Structure 1
Amino acid sequence: MTGALDQLRLQLLWNRLLAVVEEQAQTLVRTAFSTTVREAGDLSAGVFDAEGRMLAQAVTGTPGHVNAMAASVGAFLRKYPLDRLEEGDVLLTNDPWDGTGHLNDFTVVTPVFREGRPIALFAATSHVADVGGLGFGPDARQVYEEGLLVPIGYLFRRGAPNETLLDIIRANVRDPTAALGDLYSLAGCNDAGARRLLETLDEFGLGDLDAVGRLIIENSARAMRAEIAKLPRGTYENSMRIDGYDSPIDLVCAVTIGADAITVDFAGTSPISPRGVNVPLAYTQAYASFGVRCVVGNDTPNNAGSLSVVQVTAPEGCILNAPRPCAVSARHTVGQMLPDVVLGALAKAIPDRVPAEGASCLYLPVLLGGPGVAGETAGEAFVVNPFYTGGTGARPGKDGLSCTAFPSGVRNTPVEINEATAPILIWRKEYRTDSGGPGRFRGGLGQVMEFAHAERRAMAVSKMFERVRHPARGRDGGGPGAPGAVRLDDGTVLSGMGRDVVPVGRRLVIETPGGGGKGDPTTRARAAAAEDLRAGLISPEAAREIYGFEESDN
């Protein structure tokens, strides 16, 4: 494909592939049982060539899943080479070191056959609300305590379900209907993608994706190398301290911009933790490479070609390259900080493109209730994992986004959905005044939420909250965002990590962090600050003390 018509045909085929993987993702959303997938979009979907290289990913999804999944398909093929698979075979795993970093994420891989020959693969990942063990949380000492680990194996064999595996999963999770339903939804979305791909190949008169796949990967790699060549070469360093489970964690990186590649090295980062905040290397690579892609070649498709020119390393034994059998359930609390760490280094090379630090880590309270939980002997058994977000850092030339998930890209779970799927009441959900870091461009705001058991029973909460002690930092003279907080409504302060009981009659109050500001706050446009005051985003005190309003302005 070298002529203009061939290039046009390639572009049309590329657009069709994007439509195919987006339909794959939307099928997953529509058929998933867990609200984490249905409502928050915690998933990934993509198509791979016969060598296991990702060609295209769905727009719907999260980088921690899709970039890690891009590497995990290779692990599937090492155990089950494509020529050993048959029509109707579907593989799966939730192994953190072969998948996306913790047991709650199941990855399902399906080969596509054309005239009896395997020509491609579809893969999808989604977050299953419960996988047994201690449940989703940071309290485990080893991965064995965190839930059921399923090594790479068959979910379906020649179209028949692996009933032994399904029975094992059914017996080990708190909500077997949701868990098994989610596995079937993963298999179903891959099947939808496969059907559309075969229709596309028929329409374009192609027997497979081999030649087209090579062109897509080569073009994407070439485009990324061209963008890298425009950058100032050198090594740029940055570090960030975050809360950790019971002691602070230092994340240290050196970003080296070369002639045609970027390397990110996390040497100097803190060692592994005795608790479940450790990060397998694949998840580290997923979010660190995403940090680079946010400001370098962000118009280039995200696939094996563009990812190949960003290399990410971390010393084995540090918290970003945790070996088996480290506990890793809450790996997102550390891993989702990595784009900010990488962007902080890149700010020294390309300062005009980089935002301030944001809340980054999702706030994911896992609420549990029923007999045997929090001392209760009766009541409805439930486990619900709502997703909440803080503010992003101020952007170049713009304020930060309030209550928006960056870098994960997932959505806040609606109040109505949480109340419909579990016996909980959400008494309050509102913007958190003054939580956005002050600056010429203000950081995004966090939010305040208040939860209670609808039946006036005790319940447990498993907390994985970061930036409680170390808030998001501003940039270029901007101020920090507000730290996060968690407490009971009677004022009892709870730790950001670990499981606690919400007693009968008490409410759980969560405050998510704000994003850092960018630029000197005294240079903020008067009209913008006045609008913030009018909308309640800043208080009259902040208007006077930070932005220089007079009493008569209020």
Structure 2
Amino acid sequence: MHGTAHGEIDLQIMWNRLIAVVGEQAQVLIRTAFSPIVRECEDISAGIFDIRGRMIAQAVTGTPGHVNSMAESVGHFLRHFPIETMKEGDAYITNDPWMGTGHLNDFVITTPAFHRGKLVGLFSCTSHLMDIGGLGNGPEATDVYMEGLSIPMLKLIDQGKVNETLMEMIRANTRLPVDTEGDTYSLAACNDIGVRALRTMMEEFALDTLEPLADFIIDRSRQAVLDKIAALPKGVWSHEMTIDGYDAPLTLKARLTIGEDGVLVDYDGTAPAVSRGINVPLAYTKAYTVFGLACAISPDVPNNAGSLAPYRVVAPAGSVLNALRPAPVSSRHIIGQMLPDMVFGCLRTPLPDRIPAEGTSCLWNIAVRGQWNPGGASTPQTYALAITTNGGTGARPGLDGLSATAFPSGVHGTPVEIAELQCPLIFWQKELRDGSGGDGATKGGDGQVMRIGTTQDRPFELLAAFDRVCYPPRGAQGGGNGAPGRVLTASGRTLPGKGLTVITPDDTLILMTPGGAGLGPC
């Protein structure tokens, strides 16, 4: 830092400034993205890393699945592109589920940040793209090759020059070439803005390296979490949960150990990977498990490499929580987002006053696809849309659960007006599902009821990826279960919770999202 030692107050101010830098990075991504799930729902992550690949700061917006798996993906980028080979103006890309954020629909772009000709850090970002080819964003594929275009670790931009061959490949392998290209450039642009904001900060504070600041942030955060863990009861606790699965129930098992130097979650005994795309790569399993631990143990400690370090997660290779290539993983969020509830189940005995009951947990994304003639156009156009919806969260100690709220994902629900602009669907009903939350001393949050039809004389496809239909959220400490989800049509058909279904233009899709479970006796 120009040879000048900075005091702790200076370092804390710079830490806060870094959070503002990545916040600006994230807002550029949200405001320039083409996909509604990014623009309206903020299904993203953005962060800054030091040259060792350690996450220093993340934007406050974004999802734990993206943020915490992106934190691991930067290490993969550095293995493929060593820092000594990086040039100013470079940018790297992948959507590899095992080195990115768990499925092909998420692009990760990492950009080296140079200041006065010297590499000082890395910016990375992720967002969900609506369509990347293949069978689409549903669980029907039987291997990852069927799920869409796979981009290995590649250089997207070489010293400011875009890899046009790669961009042409991307455009040729999606049903939405304009949106997909636009989202790719949006990701690259937000990193560039991050680099620019970092340079301004480093000039202001007379910095020529980030390493002392990175060490301060990471060491302080790690110690803060260790201090929290030191105050906890020590021991081993287990929990298990049965969920719907694809065509048969699956059982998840966890064993949580609180020790002097950290917390270990071991998913030994969990069901093996299945033949359809609800499997979870280990990075995504770690992401949501660690998020659950942080919520219960260290919610006030900023998320970075230091605060993540005391938490360890392991799962048997080949299990549904550590699926190996080429397992299908497109709908990995279904099971991955159940994992905070698994953590909470383990911690309910040692920390009963902190732990909520089970909630819907997994997003009830309405993935639809078809053709339409927007504005009376003579040539049909393809649409593919993921309409984000949620059920109720579990009751909390002393507080009811939240209705129609995404936890643990945190993404916003897609506004009806936006969905109806992007495709020919019409929402005839969207309201709270009164009474769907479980009873208890505190009640679970309610789910939603939606009735959805089409304005055109064409069917639409529903790529269903719903859970908590057969196995609803379970009450805790004497509380009642939440209501199970339901998928049906106005014509009387009961539809499966997962798989592709065609809804005819004369019918209406009815969705009832689950309610959260209750906590404690009434």
State the TM-score, normalizing by the size of structure 2.
0.97
User: Hey, what does 1:14 align to over in structure 2?
Assistant: 15
- How much does 1:379 deviate? 4.2
- How much does 1:441 deviate? 0.5
* 2:162 corresponds to 1:161: yes
- How much does 1:489 deviate? 1.0
User: Hey, what does 2:94 align to over in structure 1?
Assistant: 93
Read off the aligned partner of 1:322 and give its amino acid letter: A
Q: Deviations over 1:90-117 (max 9, x none)?
A: 0010000000000000000000011222
How many pairs are equivalent? Answer: 515
- How much does 1:4 deviate? 12
User: Hey, what does 2:400 align to over in structure 1?
Assistant: 399
Q: Can you give the 5+ residue segments of structure 1 that lack an aligned partner in the other structure?
A: 372-376, 522-554
Counterpart of 1:272 in 2: which secondary structure? coil
Trace 1:289-438 onto structure 2 (pairs within 5 A): 289-370=290-371, 379-438=380-439
User: Hey, what does 2:43 align to over in structure 1?
Assistant: 42
User: Hey, what does 2:444 align to over in structure 1?
Assistant: 443
8 A contact 1:226–1:260 mirrored in 2:
no
Q: Deviations over 1:123-156 (max 9, x none)?
A: 0000000000000000000000000000011111
Trace 1:174-193 onto structure 2 (pairs within 5 A): 174-193=175-194
Counterpart of 1:232 in 2: which secondary structure? coil
Structure 1 residues 209 and 4: CA distance shift in structure 2, 3 A: closer
Read off the aligned partner of 2:37 and give its amino acid letter: T
User: Hey, what does 2:251 align to over in structure 1?
Assistant: 250
- How much does 1:260 deviate? 2.1
Counterpart of 1:150 in 2: which secondary structure? coil
- How much does 1:6 deviate? 0.9
Read off the aligned partner of 1:490 and give its amino acid letter: S
User: Hey, what does 2:262 align to over in structure 1?
Assistant: 261
Distance 2:151 2:79 in 1: 16
* 2:113 corresponds to 1:112: yes
Q: Deviations over 1:157-216 (max 9, x none)?
A: 111111001111111100011101001010111111111111101111110101110111
State the TM-score, normalizing by the size of structure 1.
0.92
Counterpart of 1:391 in 2: which secondary structure? coil
Read off the aligned partner of 2:55 and give its amino acid letter: M
User: Hey, what does 2:131 align to over in structure 1?
Assistant: 130
User: Hey, what does 1:462 align to over in structure 2?
Assistant: 463
8 A contact 1:457–1:505 mirrored in 2:
no
Trace 1:62-73 onto structure 2 (pairs within 5 A): 62-73=63-74
Distance 2:250 2:65 in 1: 20
Read off the aligned partner of 1:30 and give its amino acid letter: R
- How much does 1:439 deviate? 0.8
Read off the aligned partner of 1:172 and give its amino acid letter: N
- How much does 1:456 deviate? 3.0
- How much does 1:504 deviate? 2.2
Read off the aligned partner of 1:59 and give its amino acid letter: V
Identity across matched positions, percent? 52
Read off the aligned partner of 2:105 and give its amino acid letter: N
User: Hey, what does 2:511 align to over in structure 1?
Assistant: 510
Trace 1:192-271 onto structure 2 (pairs within 5 A): 192-271=193-272
- How much does 1:5 deviate? 7.5
User: Hey, what does 2:375 align to over in structure 1?
Assistant: none
Read off the aligned partner of 1:450 and give its amino acid letter: R
Distance 1:488 1:381 in 2: 24
Counterpart of 1:120 in 2: which secondary structure? strand
Which moved further from structure 2: 112-121 or 411-420?
112-121
Distance 2:351 2:281 in 1: 29
Distance 1:472 1:324 in 2: 31
Q: Deviations over 1:382-410 (max 9, x none)?
A: 11111000000001100000000000000
8 A contact 2:176–2:382 mirrored in 1:
no
8 A contact 1:402–1:444 mirrored in 2:
yes
Counterpart of 2:172 in 1: which secondary structure? helix
Distance 1:83 1:481 in 2: 54
Counterpart of 1:109 in 2: which secondary structure? strand
Distance 1:135 1:469 in 2: 25
User: Hey, what does 1:529 align to over in structure 2?
Assistant: none
- How much does 1:493 deviate? 0.3
